[in-house]
Amino acid sequence: MDKDIATPVRTRAILEKYGFSFKKSLGQNFLIDTNILKKIVSFADLTDESGAIEIGPGIGALTEQLARSSKKTVAFEIDQRLLPILEDTLSPYSNVKVIHNDVLKADVAEVIAAEFADISDLMVVANLPYYVTTPIIMKLLEEHLPIRGIVCMLQKEVADRISAKPGTKDYGSLSIAVQYYTEAETVMIVPKTVFVPQPNVDSAVIRLTRRENPAVQVKDENFFFQVTKASFAQRRKTLLNNLTSGLPDGKQKKEEILAALAASGIEPSRRGETLSLEEFGRLSDELYAYFQ
Ligand code: SAM
């Protein structure tokens, strides 16, 4: 087996060979600890029949581990300067394809159809660029891609918000948006010392396992998310206040909002952070008749 890319010595040698300088604006913090990488991959439960999609391969540290644990790995990298480096570092692996594109602009569904036609088990595994973690995760979930789930490294603070339970300070519209589509768990806290350069924030790995059906059945998904966002607009405000100021024409429709709260058995004086997904589902269905 080839020497791992993710050791401090080999990483430094690769960076020096190519005169590579990190771009902070692209969230470039590379992993230099093979044990951490192997653990990340183990959380994805891949087999030699699985496919892996990586976002931001960097110099290939995680890509290499994915190539060894999957049938095929496809990685999206935005930074053109990394392409010749990846060609070099990943040359021992014939089951890897690197696509030069911004993952937020890429047609991921089309890539999956083209690259993974013979693979039914598909996972996204990534050490995400921290400046765009939430848009990337939401894109992957909202596009209803045929993936089993996502295992990714991100800022610990965002991981806490994603996996938060009702009644906690971290619970908010992001927790609901992600938990609507997936079961979310934080599986590992990662120290800053395993990256070059070291990020300014603490990191964590989360595992999102796609639900067969969304956590709640609602009449209108977009309206459900509109209601949850409005409910958390100002955390210290009551649900009634947030809904009257956050929903279209909410102030004129205060009576209707009160009726919907009553019909769903939710006290108007409660705060958004105390409502479960089921309660938000009931409430948004009751409100829907008045706002559609
Ligand atoms: N996977 C490598 C590792 O773990 O060492 C690098 C991870 S680094 C945190 C994030 C990577 O994402 C960088 O290679 C960066 O160039 C790339 N990147 C940043 N924004 C991107 C985007 N919008 N689409 C695809 N890749 C992106």
Q: What is the pLDDT of residue 1?
A: 54
Distance 253 CA to ligand 1 centre (A): 46
Distance 204 CA to ligand 1 centre (A): 16
Give the ipTM of the model, two decimals please: 0.99
On whether 77 is known to bind a ligand per the annotation, the reply is yes
Q: Give, in words, the CATH class of 8-210.
A: alpha beta
Please choose from 4, 24, 28, 37 the residue to mutate so as to test ligand 1's pocket, defined by most ligand atoms within 8 A of CB: 28
Q: State the Cα–Cα distance between residues 111 and 53, nearest whole angstrom.
A: 10
- Paired with 97 in beta bridges are 74
- Could you tell me the end-to-end alpha-carbon distance of the chain, in angstroms, rounded to an integer? 60
Residue type, 30: F
Strands 30-31 and 195-196: antiparallel
Please choose, from the candidates 55, 93, 90, the residue with its C-alpha nearest in 3D space to the C-alpha of residue 71: 93
Q: State the Cα–Cα distance between residues 132 and 249, nearest whole angstrom.
A: 32
The residues spanned by each domain of the chain are 8-210, 221-291
Are 49 and 121 a contacting pair, CB within 8 Å?
Answer: yes
> What are the residue ranges in the chain where pLDDT is below 50?
none
Residue 31 Cβ inside 6 Å of ligand 1? The answer reads yes
Write down the pTM of the prediction: 0.95
Distance 50 CA to ligand 1 centre (A): 22
Q: What is the pLDDT of residue 73?
A: 98
* Architecture of domain 221-291 in this structure: Orthogonal Bundle (1.10)
Q: State the Cα–Cα distance between residues 42 and 69, nearest whole angstrom.
A: 9
Query: 75 burial class (0-12, 13-18, 19+ CB within 10 angstroms)?
Result: buried
Q: What is the pLDDT of residue 292?
A: 85
